[in-house]
Structure 1
Amino acid sequence: MKIKLITIGLGVIWSGMMMSCDKDFLDRPSEDQVEAPFFFNTAKDLEVATNDFYSAFSRNSDEKEWTDSYTDDAGSDNLMPLNPAAKVRGSRVVPVARGSGGWNWDDLRKINYFLINYHKVKDEAAKAKYGGIARFFRAYFYYDKVKTFGDVPWYSGVLDAKDPELYKARDSRTLVMDSVMADLDFAIANIPAEKQVNLITRYTAMLLKARVALFEGTFRKYHGLEDADKYLTLAATAAQDLITSNAYTLYTEGGAENAYRNLFARNNQDNIETILAIDFELGLKVHSLGSSFTSATQGSYGIPKDLVNSYLMRDGSRFTDKANYKTMGFLDEMKNRDPRLTQTTAGPDFKVIGESKNEPVNLSITTTGYRLIKALPDRSQWATSGAYFDIILFRYAEALLVFAEAKAELGTLTQADLNISINKLRSRAGMPNLDMAQANANPDPYLLAMYPNVKGMQGVILEIRRERRAELFNEGFRWDDLMRWKEGLKVNQPIVGVYFPGVGAYDFTGDGQPDVFVHTGSTAGAPSSVTSMVNIKQRTLWDPITGQQGGNSGNIDPFPNRGGFREDRDYFAPIPSEELLLNRSLKQNDKWDE
């Protein structure tokens, strides 16, 4: 029997005790003195309390649901939904209500209350384990706050409503992030080194430390802050410790043509590569990702052309070195590419999981013409609230990417480092190894235009970023990556889709029969084999050569207004105005008070 990520019922007592209050209760009086003695007495009490902390994975600065880690990229340049996110449009505004916009401290108060009281339990092993888990979640909480707002107040206790600390100014980023590192070190030292797919373990803490330190190190490097190398070194070391533990490896079932897709589409995750996943079960806990991935009226998620361009050819050469890559049709651009491309978007031979016949081409369920299939389950799970495949939160592949990137940004990367990291991922995909000397000698001009701020070992850093984008696509990392690399302006570049040279019929599957008919309002003359219509008066085109919009040739252009990211403002979110009125020591993030 699998252990649930959230054990149903265990958190009821704790949640009731801690949440019978208004939304933002960091400033509520301390809990009744009677409650702690009656609750924090056994190892089971500690388990009950920490089980409630797992809700952090479904509730962060954007009030996420359990499944949003698989749709978070829609708030970036990686995935275009029907309605682009406000942060991509540049239309975020200062929130008003206290505790809104991510400035919410509910979870922290529960964690700190636990840390003040859990020492009463006499079971030393239980105290070490659950104390470590609590500090893992405090680190996770503050990591999210720093990513979102920059400097924030550090609170390590439960504050009384009259405590002056409640209304203090923000603490320095360094103080907060060093405290996060200390929490993660405690978690790594005290949580058992078990392999539990649905529970926090030492390995989860190791990967979170690597993730956080990489974010902080690269953010500091590219935003001109001190101590970048300190955090990059911590990232490389944490990732290497996980790698050399030999606890995990890459999932390879199905071979290069299927393993990557199979990893995400399984109903039940195992502990080969997956370190932590949210468990869903038919009849007990379900979600609607199958529906949102296949509905024309929900997400209609579309993969952008520049991501498709970024995938290498199967022989390791660059697709964008081809003279006609900008105007290449769908069928030709899908040939002989990195196998992960057609395990991420529907290619010419796309088959639904568990079926033997090709799925008909359907461009009505994708904004760009490149349909999302990563993590798409079998057809039986496509109904609303009908999906029950597990959702991965932490997996071993990330450690390989963190290790390589941190070492490259430090300038200490070697070919041997690549061979135990990036080249393991490429091997799983059936791709040639990345050669560091070749990459540095010939940086990709296409990627350099995408990431103009890159510093140091340009060539190999660009290749690692290519690998990261392909491998971690739609797992919720992309916005954070652009923020830490200081490449927010990337979302203002055209986010477009499939190229059509003009009106007419097109074969997307290679069987000699047209599948798509492009027209200007009349479908007369469409071949009977066509399964998808594109009206370019409604779905306008963008010419990649001239940059003109609205013509009869070009890429599908679902977002013609383009992104509105502001370099002087949008790397941090605004603090709610009510919070600034209540705490005069807080100052609004730059340019949000204009």
Structure 2
Amino acid sequence: MKTRYISLIILLLVSFAGCQKDALDTTPVDKIDAAVFFNTATDLEVYTNKFYDMLPDFNLYVDDTSTDNAIALTVADRVKGTRVLPASRTGTKWIWDDLRSINYFLANYEKCKDAAAKAKFSGIARFFRAYFYYDRVKTFGDVPLYTKVLEAEDPDLYKARDSRKVVMAQVLEDINYAIANIPKEVQLNRITKHTALLLKARICLFEGTFRKYHKLGDHDAFLKEAAAASEELITSGAYKLYTAGGVNVAYRDLFARSDQEPTETILARDYNPTFGRHGLSYLMTAPTAGVYGIPKDMIDSYLMKDGSKFTNQANYQTKGFYEEMQNRDPRLYQTTPGPDYAPYGETAREAVNLNITTTGYRIIKGLTTRDQWGPTSSYNDVIIFRLAEALLIFAEAKAELGTLTQADLDKSINKLRERVGMPNLILTAANAAPDAFLASFYPNVDAGANKGVILEIRRERRIEMFNEGLRWDDLMRWKEGKKLEKPMVGIYFSGLGSHDFNNDGKADVFLHTGVATGAPAGTSSIINVNQKRLTNTTSGNFNPLVTTPRTFNETKDYYYPIPVQELALNKNLVQNPGW
């Protein structure tokens, strides 16, 4: 994405050259561009480069801290159930500037005589329009659909919201156009046909399952499109799962390395020590910043190394840290520190530090080398789309349709398990004995013949895609918002005093109620449980949300509200239910 900054400078220079006649009597920038732009392939590329700013930045990797997957020091309003009706559109997604820019391009690009350029860059524009409206439908449901540039006097400025089905039909048309017209390239930081295929699969899985579980109807068509698009990407052979280093390091390396390359990664946001850094590693390590922690129900979801369920073991809820970490899915130790954790790029075991995590289970997925742990010091690229998601979409769409076979699992979910040396998921076994632990999270899951395998696919998705910004959307589309009300606690402790986290005979953690006298020398984490609460006062689990009530209102919280000011400006708009 380096070129977008250069391209924007060129665009601004061209715009300035066209308006220096009278800087106080300016015409809108898009009008000036139309007079001098859209004539060459370079013009089209320059204009569409600015659309890339719509894509997420490093905050994609912290979005899960506003879900049930991770708990931050400051709990998000949507987790607490305390979102409020905004007065204005500032800070909301009821903003249409990007859409106007896209529609302006689509109204003018045909001036260019280069047929190949017109196809490619109109495809990219349609990709971003699909991306824009998909995001708005997820957020608000019904929204006004605009496929033209609106002028101040256009009556459509004040039209009512179009139905979700009308808008999503246009989204599907746009993304299909993008797939048909963007070249089939492998480009790490640019939109290609492969990117468009994965976006289509993501959109269609979301819409298909949302319609199914919210009982809106017409869900099968979207699920079939999701399965077809993901399968086309998988079978193209353009990408394969990243396995360098083996089962115990590949998954972690994929996110911690500074520079992505297009083995599994389809699209990434580029960061660099010279022109772009971020603060992700700081948020993961600073005791006064994110202090992120993974809840125990997420940790308990990881299977044993032999494929059996950890939650089938006796007293799994009260196992100590060292015991619960033994012989688990290797992705667990590549997502949160295990007993022998060493920071990325180092070999020496790091001392246990529970002061930088709300739950005791730190997040290390995406944590890079120690020299990048300072504020705005990180420059590891952020993955936006990768092949693993296509594998998960394919399996889930087929399972929800009722057409999933063992062969389908073998070319999707079981490829992910193979990467980390885990046994295959067996369709008949999963459906014969649906996991009660998972079912307790998802009471609305399809109760048919595929219930068991759908639950296992959801397990796999939560684990594989953890901290990649998809969890909130998953809960919303499955109509499982009430999951946010379930207990979100941390590591279990049998009582006060010393605890050995790595089984070396030495204390790593010492819990006390205000007086730390008695902590063995060398103890790295000394915790006052009057400040970092336990569920049973002097024993039990870390309980970071003990004073944070959480509610999810089924009648309104699946959507965000329309700002009050927008309702006042446009009397044809109707507020979302419950707001």
TM-score normalized by the length of structure 1: 0.94
Distance 1:30 1:231, change over 3 A: farther
Q: Which residue of 2 aligns with 1:555?
A: 541
The 1-side partners of 2:15 and 2:233 are apart by: 35
**Equivalent of residue 35 in structure 2, options 19, 34, 37:** 37
Q: Which residue of 2 aligns with 1:9?
A: 6
What is the CA deviation profile of residues 68-115 of structure 1, one whole-angstrom value per residue up to 9, with x for unaligned ones? 110000110001000110000111101111354210111101000011
What is the CA deviation profile of residues 470-522 of structure 1, one whole-angstrom value per residue up to 9, with x for unaligned ones? 00000000000000000001011111100011101001112111100011111
The 2-side partners of 1:505 and 1:437 are apart by: 45
What is the CA deviation profile of residues 375-428 of structure 1, one whole-angstrom value per residue up to 9, with x for unaligned ones? 110101001111111100000000000000000000100000000000000000
The 2-side partners of 1:322 and 1:459 are apart by: 19
Shift of 1:30: 7.3
* Structure 1 gaps, min length 5: 20-27, 59-65, 544-550
Retained in 2: the 8 A contact 1:495–1:562?
no
Structure 1 counterpart of 2:45, which letter? Answer: E
Retained in 1: the 8 A contact 2:182–2:193?
yes
Q: Which residue of 1 aligns with 2:497?
A: 504
| TM alignment of 1:15-30, pairs within 5 A | none
**Equivalent of residue 250 in structure 2, options 240, 256, 259:** 259
Q: Which residue of 2 aligns with 1:336?
A: 327
* Partner SS for 1:277: strand
Q: Which residue of 2 aligns with 1:22?
A: none
The 1-side partners of 2:568 and 2:89 are apart by: 10
* Partner SS for 2:440: helix
The 2-side partners of 1:95 and 1:29 are apart by: 32
**Equivalent of residue 145 in structure 2, options 154, 159, 175:** 154
Distance 1:271 1:493, change over 3 A: same
Shift of 1:565: 1.4
Distance 1:563 1:13, change over 3 A: farther
Structure 2 counterpart of 1:7, which letter? Answer: R
Structure 2 counterpart of 1:35, which letter? Answer: D
Retained in 2: the 8 A contact 1:149–1:574?
yes
Structure 2 counterpart of 1:38, which letter? Answer: V
Q: Which residue of 1 aligns with 2:19?
A: none
Q: Which residue of 2 aligns with 1:473?
A: 466
Shift of 1:18: 9.0
Shift of 1:234: 0.4
Distance 1:589 1:13, change over 3 A: farther
What is the CA deviation profile of residues 242-267 of structure 1, one whole-angstrom value per residue up to 9, with x for unaligned ones? 01101100000111111100100111
The 1-side partners of 2:162 and 2:217 are apart by: 16
Q: Which residue of 1 aligns with 2:562?
A: 575
* Partner SS for 2:162: coil
- Does 2:290 align with 1:293? no
The 2-side partners of 1:6 and 1:358 are apart by: 41
* Partner SS for 1:534: strand
The 2-side partners of 1:18 and 1:77 are apart by: 46
Q: Which residue of 1 aligns with 2:506?
A: 513
- Does 2:185 align with 1:194? yes
Deviates more, 1:468-477 or 1:155-164: 155-164
Shift of 1:9: 2.2
The 2-side partners of 1:137 and 1:99 are apart by: 22
Retained in 1: the 8 A contact 2:476–2:558?
yes
Retained in 2: the 8 A contact 1:5–1:199?
no
Retained in 2: the 8 A contact 1:5–1:277?
no
What is the CA deviation profile of residues 320-360 of structure 1, one whole-angstrom value per residue up to 9, with x for unaligned ones? 01120111111100000000001000110111111110011
**Equivalent of residue 82 in structure 2, options 86, 91, 97:** 91
- Does 2:234 align with 1:243? yes
- Does 2:534 align with 1:541? yes
Retained in 2: the 8 A contact 1:351–1:359?
yes
Structure 2 counterpart of 1:215, which letter? Answer: F
TM-score normalized by the length of structure 2: 0.96
Q: Percent identity?
A: 58
Retained in 2: the 8 A contact 1:492–1:564?
yes
| TM alignment of 1:133-212, pairs within 5 A | 133-212=124-203
Shift of 1:124: 0.7
Q: Which residue of 2 aligns with 1:548?
A: none
Structure 1 counterpart of 2:545, which letter? Answer: F
- Does 2:47 align with 1:49? yes
Retained in 1: the 8 A contact 2:304–2:310?
yes
| TM alignment of 1:59-98, pairs within 5 A | 66-98=57-89
**Equivalent of residue 273 in structure 2, options 282, 285, 288:** 282
Retained in 2: the 8 A contact 1:218–1:484?
yes
Structure 2 counterpart of 1:10, which letter? Answer: S
The 1-side partners of 2:288 and 2:552 are apart by: 27
**Equivalent of residue 209 in structure 2, options 218, 225, 229:** 218
**CA RMSD, aligned part only?**
1.6
The 1-side partners of 2:577 and 2:167 are apart by: 20
What is the CA deviation profile of residues 241-298 of structure 1, one whole-angstrom value per residue up to 9, with x for unaligned ones? 0011011000001111111001001111011000000111112111111111100111
Shift of 1:7: 2.8
| TM alignment of 1:294-333, pairs within 5 A | 294-333=285-324
The 2-side partners of 1:30 and 1:17 are apart by: 13
* Partner SS for 2:100: helix
What is the CA deviation profile of residues 109-154 of structure 1, one whole-angstrom value per residue up to 9, with x for unaligned ones? 1000011001110111111111000110000000100000001011
Structure 2 counterpart of 1:344, which letter? Answer: T
The 1-side partners of 2:371 and 2:564 are apart by: 46
Distance 1:465 1:15, change over 3 A: farther
What is the CA deviation profile of residues 177-212 of structure 1, one whole-angstrom value per residue up to 9, with x for unaligned ones? 111111111110111110000111100000000000
The 2-side partners of 1:129 and 1:84 are apart by: 43
Retained in 1: the 8 A contact 2:30–2:104?
no
Q: Which residue of 2 aligns with 1:547?
A: none
* Partner SS for 1:275: strand
**Equivalent of residue 352 in structure 1, options 340, 343, 349:** 343
The 2-side partners of 1:229 and 1:485 are apart by: 15
* Partner SS for 1:517: strand
Deviates more, 1:280-289 or 1:434-443: 280-289
Shift of 1:53: 0.3
The 2-side partners of 1:29 and 1:288 are apart by: 39
Shift of 1:562: 3.7
The 2-side partners of 1:172 and 1:29 are apart by: 35
Deviates more, 1:534-543 or 1:144-153: 534-543
Shift of 1:12: 3.0
The 2-side partners of 1:333 and 1:350 are apart by: 15
